[in-house]
A and B are shown apart, each in its own frame.
Chain A
């Protein structure tokens, strides 16, 4: 059995993305003056979360397909 590299990558970005989203929701708008008033923690956190989850989904699908072949 082998570990698909997409599992750790997906897991890491999903977690980091989720943390950033929460952090972005909790922080006041004044923190985002330097990023042109955009709550980048929230938005980029969402991007990372989606990316991470997609990676996990693809890895999981490949994993299941492999199981099928083994059977």
Chain B
């Protein structure tokens, strides 16, 4: 089964030459590629781990986070990205502000890609450890070698092709797992009953794992340790908008669309399958923790004495799927981890080579020189990912770790974007020092607070004094993001007011909302307009929130 997957991937890769130039990518393909770009280990492993650790509240990442953010990207951000023809987020920042803002963002983005790729590497290594029975160290080396070969063979050249295939592979590979699991526990009501034991075991009300909002009145009433305000602002606003609006790995997919309208419709179309993802990735996590508590042990226990939630999906695959279908499930997992690594390492390579090295360290070299630097960057990126993968072993839920990185990088960046796009008075100095302030605010907040039960260090509190203890790691991340966003917003605003504008209105045309011509869509029937689609999506997410209230 694995062999078939591999052989077919090769066939598909060689047919890449036929692949459409941007113009003719149908909207649904661009839409699926848009969410597949994000369907790496963080989604498959991380969301399941969170489903086990925090319950159905994890769906807030979708119905409060991703949905509104994707609507916002489609309606408001796409016109600037698509219109400005910038090829990367740092490049947009250079056009809108200046070189130093671009460089700062390039550096933080590079660090983020390393962590993302490291998390996928960790997940792949864990899978090898489980399936092949190798030691974790050996499995890490194997993963690193595989991804190196994969990238040098040109694995990412037909990215969009692979991503669409991978989307179906993951959906069709995991759906039987959810279906079998739900049948086994007796449907949603059976799952609720199982999870009531989990919740009372952990000292919460019986419904704490199966209600999204009901227990959000106080941080002490739900496993995530959040109250509604911090969740909506920290996750919904700072983190999700920050991620979906500024992570170029994702945004890039929409830019392959044929027209402005198609580009705007891409994230909106993507939002439809995204809305249903929780069924595929969060439910298995909830099933796993139900089994774990009912049987007194299903997930392996990690070094911190907690269950290793990251293994929810791999353990369930082995539990329910017989040989045959198991191969399909494992292929889906491996495909997702590998593209997660390869995508991030490739992004690291291009950001380092073009936005940092070529612009600041050694400009004006021949192309062959930059190509060599790019190869070196790929090798370096993989080595750095190994380190990140080892730091991931310190987290029993990789989504906790990933959101921590996002809170440092995307949280403040979103404030810069908001001001830069909607306020033409924002200056280059304002943006640069604002971004710096935001990141430092995140570090200060993280250094002075800690999550309950954690040892100071990688889990926060490393600045000596602990001013506040959050009930969970995720709560700490949400508040870090919110602090970082606020720090960046205020600093950018104040510094911009005190510094002179360096760009004239003319130079900002197409980069700032008030200086960009409105898009005319009167010629489209109403149901094809992005706004109509956006309303449908928002209404649907409200309905989903109410159903699982």
A20-51 interface bits toward B, Cβ cutoff 8 Å, 1 = contact, 0 = none: 10011001000110111010110011011001
Is the beta-carbon distance between A34 and B319 smaller than 8 angstroms?
Answer: yes
Number of CB contacts from chain A to chain B under 8 A? 77
**Within the complex, which residue of B11, B20, B176 is in contact with A40, where a contact is CB–CB below 8 Å?**
B176
Query: Does residue A3 face the partner (Cβ distance < 8 Å to B)?
Result: yes
What residues of A have a CB within 8 angstroms of the CB of B11 in the complex? Answer: 8
**Within the complex, which residue of B4, B161, B184, B325 is in contact with A36, where a contact is CB–CB below 8 Å?**
B184
Q: How many residues of A contact B (CB 8 A)?
A: 29
**Complex Cα gap A45–B325 (Å):** 8
Interface residues of B in 418-440 (CB under 8 A from A): none
Is the beta-carbon distance between B180 and A38 smaller than 8 angstroms?
Answer: yes
What residues of A have a CB within 8 angstroms of the CB of B324 in the complex? Answer: 20, 23-24, 27, 40-41, 45
B1-28 interface bits toward A, Cβ cutoff 8 Å, 1 = contact, 0 = none: 1001000100110010011100010000
Is the beta-carbon distance between B29 and A35 smaller than 8 angstroms?
Answer: no
What residues of A have a CB within 8 angstroms of the CB of B322 in the complex? Answer: 27, 31-32, 34-35, 40-41
B421 to chain A, nearest CB (A): 33
Query: Does residue B233 face the partner (Cβ distance < 8 Å to A)?
Result: no
What residues of A have a CB within 8 angstroms of the CB of B357 in the complex? Answer: none
Q: Chain B contact residues (Cβ within 8 angstroms of A): what range?
A: 20 to 34
What residues of A have a CB within 8 angstroms of the CB of B19 in the complex? Answer: 2-3, 5
**Complex Cα gap A38–B184 (Å):** 11
**Complex Cα gap A50–B192 (Å):** 33
Is the beta-carbon distance between B180 and A9 smaller than 8 angstroms?
Answer: no
**Within the complex, which residue of A2, A34, A45 is in contact with B18, where a contact is CB–CB below 8 Å?**
A2
Is the beta-carbon distance between A5 and B176 smaller than 8 angstroms?
Answer: no
Q: A27-B324, A31-B322 are in contact. Are A13 and B168 (CB under 8 A)?
A: yes
What residues of A have a CB within 8 angstroms of the CB of B168 in the complex? Answer: 9, 13, 51
**Complex Cα gap A1–B15 (Å):** 12
Is the beta-carbon distance between B29 and A15 smaller than 8 angstroms?
Answer: no
What residues of B have a CB within 8 angstroms of the CB of A31 in the complex? Answer: 322-323
Q: A8-B8, A35-B320 are in contact. Are A48 and B18 (CB under 8 A)?
A: no
What residues of A have a CB within 8 angstroms of the CB of B320 in the complex? Answer: 34-36
Is the beta-carbon distance between A8 and B15 smaller than 8 angstroms?
Answer: yes
Closest 4 CB pairs of A and B: A3-B18, A41-B324, A12-B8, A8-B12
Question: What are 23 pairs between A and B in contact, CB < 8 Å?
Answer: A3-B18, A5-B29, A5-B164, A8-B11, A8-B165, A9-B165, A12-B12, A16-B1, A16-B4, A20-B328, A27-B324, A34-B319, A34-B320, A34-B321, A35-B320, A35-B322, A36-B180, A40-B176, A40-B180, A41-B322, A47-B172, A51-B168, A51-B172
Q: Which positions in B face A, CB cutoff 8 Å?
A: 1, 4, 8, 11-12, 15, 18-20, 24, 29, 161, 164-165, 168, 172, 176, 180, 183-184, 319-325, 328
Q: Which positions in A face B, CB cutoff 8 Å?
A: 1-3, 5, 8-9, 11-13, 15-16, 19-20, 23-24, 27, 31-32, 34-36, 38, 40-41, 44-45, 47-48, 51
